[in-house]
């Protein structure tokens, strides 16, 4: 029997790297549809890219269909090898950057959802300064939930995450940037909306339903009373949480800047602010060691220079 020809017999071309990057994004997003926004590509285009990569490698990389997206054994091997390859490319760029004092490559930022609403000047000014100092670096921004950002940074799926840290990780460095005030809200139509705040007793809240959010999860509660609240719905994304609260059937935590920016201050009312309000501190987080270290450190220096 003749020996099977190697799938990649020549040098890797730019198109190979592009196909591998698309494949990496699809895997990390969990499927073609989920990767559309991140890649800014149509589902059919992504499907064609993956098919081209499978033909190039002569391997079936993933199963896709009604049962969902799933990597094959070959797909997992290719994904792991892709991480190694792209990490090596970042290390190469870092060495070149160091010798030429000129930054080239890519910076992948992960932002907590709706984070920019009240604090955009800090991030915008940092991006402005960074773009002037490193014009050859391509910037890629993804939006995720706070917990997803922490995981993405730890797994090196993003270079820098800007989020709220609820605990410290020894693998991560942090640059504190700005604060966000969180308050407990009810909406028009809720029984508590028409009652003056001074007349509301904490014990009264026990008869109402709450939307669970990250700081109302078991072990993360910001006040002992929150342990007793009936978390009847879950919505960790703020837009979804606001929708449930606006229905008039739930109480929940929201950032004041989002309520004001969305023009909801006439439809939503804060309750017992002194007792249940708290502050989230947003930080830029990044791994202590990373193949893209020079670019990461440069952006963090920009954040330090412009933060309020």
* Statement to judge: residues 47 and 73 lie in one domain: yes
Domain residues for the domain of 37 are 14-85
pLDDT at site 120:
58
Dihedral (CA of 72, 74, 78, 80) sign: positive
* Statement to judge: residues 234 and 250 lie in one domain: yes
Q: What mean pLDDT do residues 90-115 have?
A: 78
Let me know if residue 207 belongs to a domain: yes
Higher pLDDT pick, 4 / 65 = 65
Could you give phi then psi for residue 195, rounded to 5 degrees?
A: -100, 135
Statement: residue 133 has pLDDT above 50: yes
pLDDT at site 218:
80
What is the tens place of the pLDDT at every residue in 65-91?
A: 777 888 999 999 999 999 888 888 877
pLDDT at site 33:
86
Let me know if residue 267 belongs to a domain: yes
Statement: residue 282 has pLDDT above 60: yes
Statement: residue 233 has pLDDT above 60: yes
Statement: residue 3 has pLDDT above 50: no
- Separation of alpha carbons 109 and 177, rounded Å: 15
* Statement to judge: residues 220 and 268 lie in one domain: yes
Residue 271's CATH number: 3.40.190.290
What is the tens place of the pLDDT at every residue in 139-165?
A: 999 888 887 898 889 888 899 999 988
Higher pLDDT pick, 167 / 130 = 130
Let me know if residue 6 belongs to a domain: no
Q: What percent of the chain has pLDDT over 90?
A: 48
Statement: residue 249 has pLDDT above 80: yes
Q: Are strands 105-112 and 137-144 parallel, antiparallel or unpaired?
A: parallel
* Statement to judge: residues 288 and 169 lie in one domain: yes
Let me know if residue 74 belongs to a domain: yes
Higher pLDDT pick, 97 / 280 = 280
What is the tens place of the pLDDT at every residue in 168-225?
A: 888 899 999 988 899 999 999 999 999 999 999 999 999 999 999 877 878 788 899 9
* Statement to judge: residues 149 and 291 lie in one domain: yes
pLDDT at site 89:
83
- Separation of alpha carbons 186 and 146, rounded Å: 23
pLDDT at site 101:
66
pLDDT at site 27:
92
pLDDT at site 10:
57
Average pLDDT of the chain to the nearest whole number? 86
Structural domains counted in the chain: 3
* Statement to judge: residues 215 and 270 lie in one domain: yes
Let me know if residue 156 belongs to a domain: yes
pLDDT at site 2:
46
pLDDT at site 1:
43
Let me know if residue 185 belongs to a domain: yes
3-state secondary structure of 3: coil
Could you give phi then psi for residue 156, rounded to 5 degrees?
A: 60, 30
- Of 85, 117, 144, which marks where a domain is finished? 85
- Separation of alpha carbons 187 and 273, rounded Å: 15
């Amino acid at each position: 029997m003749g020996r099977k020809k190697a799938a990649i017999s020549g040098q890797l071309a730019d198109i190979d790297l592009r196909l591998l990057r698309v494949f990496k994004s699809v895997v990390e997003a969990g499927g073609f549809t989920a990767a559309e926004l991140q890649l800014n590509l149509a589902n059919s285009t992504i499907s064609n890219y993956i098919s081209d990569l499978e033909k190039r490698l002569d391997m079936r990389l993933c199963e896709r269909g009604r049962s969902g997206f799933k990597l094959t054994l070959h797909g997992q091997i290719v994904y792991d090898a892709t991480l190694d390859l792209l990490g090596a490319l970042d290390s190469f760029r870092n060495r070149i950057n160091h010798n030429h004092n000129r930054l080239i490559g890519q910076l992948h930022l992960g932002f907590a959802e709706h984070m920019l609403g009240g604090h955009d000047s800090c991030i915008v000014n940092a991006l402005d300064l960074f773009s002037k100092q490193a014009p050859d670096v391509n910037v890629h921004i993804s939006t995720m939930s706070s917990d997803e950002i922490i995981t993405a940074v730890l797994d090196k799926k993003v270079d820098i995450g800007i989020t709220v840290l609820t605990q410290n990780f020894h693998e991560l460095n942090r640059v504190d940037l700005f604060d966000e005030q969180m308050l407990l809200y009810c909406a028009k139509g809720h029984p508590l909306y028409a009652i003056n705040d001074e007349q509301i007793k904490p014990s009264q809240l026990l008869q109402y339903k709450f939307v669970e959010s990250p700081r109302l999860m078991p072990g993360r509660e910001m006040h002992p009373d929150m342990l007793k609240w009936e978390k009847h719905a879950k919505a960790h994304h703020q837009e979804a949480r606001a929708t449930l609260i606006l229905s008039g059937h739930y109480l929940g935590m929201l950032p004041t800047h989002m309520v004001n920016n969305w023009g909801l201050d006439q439809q939503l009312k804060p309750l017992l602010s002194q007792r249940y309000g708290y502050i989230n501190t947003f930080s830029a987080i990044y791994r202590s060691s990373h193949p893209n270290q020079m670019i990461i450190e440069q952006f963090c220096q920009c954040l330090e220079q412009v933060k309020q």
